[in-house]
Amino acid sequence: MDFELTEEQKLIKDTVRRFADEVIVPVARENDIKEHFPLEIIKKMASLGFLGAPIPEKYGGAGLDFISDAIIFEEIGRADSSIRTTLSVQVSIVGLTILNWGTEGQKEKYLPRLCRGEIIGCFALTEPGAGSDAANQSTTVVLTNKGWVLNGTKTWISNGGIADIAVVFAQTDKNKKHKGIAAFIIEKGMHGFSTKEIKGKLGLRASNTAELIFEDCMIPKDALLGKIGDGFEVAMSALDNGRYGVASGCVGIIQGCINVCVKYAKERHQFGKPIGSFQLIQEKIARMVVDCNASRLLVYRAGDLKNKGIKNTLETSIAKYFASEAAVRAAVDAIQIFGAYGYSNEYPVERYLRDAKVATIYEGTSEIQKLIIGHHTIGIKAFS
């Protein structure tokens, strides 16, 4: 693997960083306080090609490689993890899932509009009783002469309240367990489909999160994504892509912590000298730097495998686990460096901590990542 970024990747990094600093950073604090979902920023990102970075040009995307994709997630995550979450869902677990599993008609219908930001997508797998146990789907779907009839509730769905389309998972035959799960593309406005926004979150307050409720929701036969029984595999492949975006965004959080802490450590004086001269301050920043470099390299390793078309579940889980936990460590240390100022929203470090914590939970908890790593290493599943 070549560790040097290409000229194109350097240009992408500079472009995204400038956009993040000029457009996202100035309003991140206010959006967090007001729990405002900044659709206007998402539209601006679409015009720059961010919403279709790894999607082929024939479907309206930019056709970029996965290292470039990680660079975009990192720079947006450094500025505001709420927006990075929306981007990850739109690109990684909706766009790429339709690209990898959809019919040609589904790709042509949805991908260009997703890339242009004309529609927003969400990914509906989690249920009140099915979080880490994703195979235990209570949402059911029955095929009739008129189409599919869907019943159930999904929860903690990022983009759920504002999405125009949803990739939804449901059980066709409970006796078949995970082999009976199917995936569907469901459009907003279908009869029997409603949403309820979730407010009061610890972090990601500027992202949209909602419950999706299906009550005898009639959906057309051609809404099926893949084949009946493919649903669990569709979900797991989507999570491989989603975890990659989360890991990349966490690199951004760590880098953000480094940037503000270095600046503050030079400016803040105690005992007649800058606090950056204190050994324990340098120790905390040094750990951030090591964690940032290690996380970025783990992400790039997973991205390199993705570019080569090689299965990367293990490598992506390692990157997601390490980077998310490292982001929490970095944010905790950053608050300690800032002292009382770090405990207020005058500086971004308290938001970094609140936003970093959820990265150890969604797209598979840290505990689930450990079990994936353990299974790949030992060859024995912790549970069936």
| 312-357 pLDDT per residue, tens | 999 999 999 999 999 999 999 999 999 999 999 999 999 999 999 9
With CA atoms as reference, report the closest residue to 290 among 260, 255, 318. 255
Which residues are CB-contacts of 22 (< 8 A; sequence separation ≥ 6)?
Answer: none
Q: How far apart are CA 82 and CA 38, in angstroms?
A: 9
Own/partner long-range contacts of 24-28 (Cβ < 8 Å, ≥24 apart): 24/76, 24/79, 24/80, 24/83, 25/79, 25/80, 28/79, 28/80, 28/82, 28/206, 28/348, 28/351
Burial class (CB in 10 A: 0-12, 13-18, 19+), 97: buried
**How much is the pLDDT for 131?**
77
**How much is the pLDDT for 182?**
96
Helices and strands in the chain, H and E counts: 12, 10
Backbone angles phi, psi at 256, to 5 degrees: -60, -40
- Active-site position among 108, 187, 363, 367: 363
* Structural domains present in the chain: 7-119 (1.10.540.10), 122-229 (2.40.110.10), 233-378 (1.20.140.10)
**How much is the pLDDT for 1?**
65
Own/partner long-range contacts of 160-163 (Cβ < 8 Å, ≥24 apart): 160/122, 160/124, 160/195, 160/197, 160/208, 160/209, 160/210, 160/211, 160/212, 161/195, 161/196, 161/197, 161/208, 161/209, 161/210, 162/37, 162/39, 162/120, 162/208, 163/119, 163/120, 163/121, 163/122, 163/188
Q: Where does the chain show beta strands of DSSP type E? A: 121-124, 140-144, 147-158, 165-171, 181-187, 193-197, 209-219, 224-225, 269-270, 273-274
Q: How far apart are CA 106 and CA 283, in angstroms?
A: 52
The H or E element containing residue 286 is helix 279-308
DSSP labels for 124-177? E--BTTBSS-TT----EEEEETTEEEEEEEEEEEETTTT-SEEEEEEES-GGGG
Active site annotation includes 363: yes
Residues of the chain with pLDDT under 70: 1, 384
Decide if 36 contacts 30 (C-beta within 8 A).
yes
**How much is the pLDDT for 381?**
87
The whole model's pTM is what?
0.95
For residue 123, the cross-strand partners are: 167
Q: Where does 200-287 show beta strands of DSSP type E? A: 209-219, 224-225, 269-270, 273-274
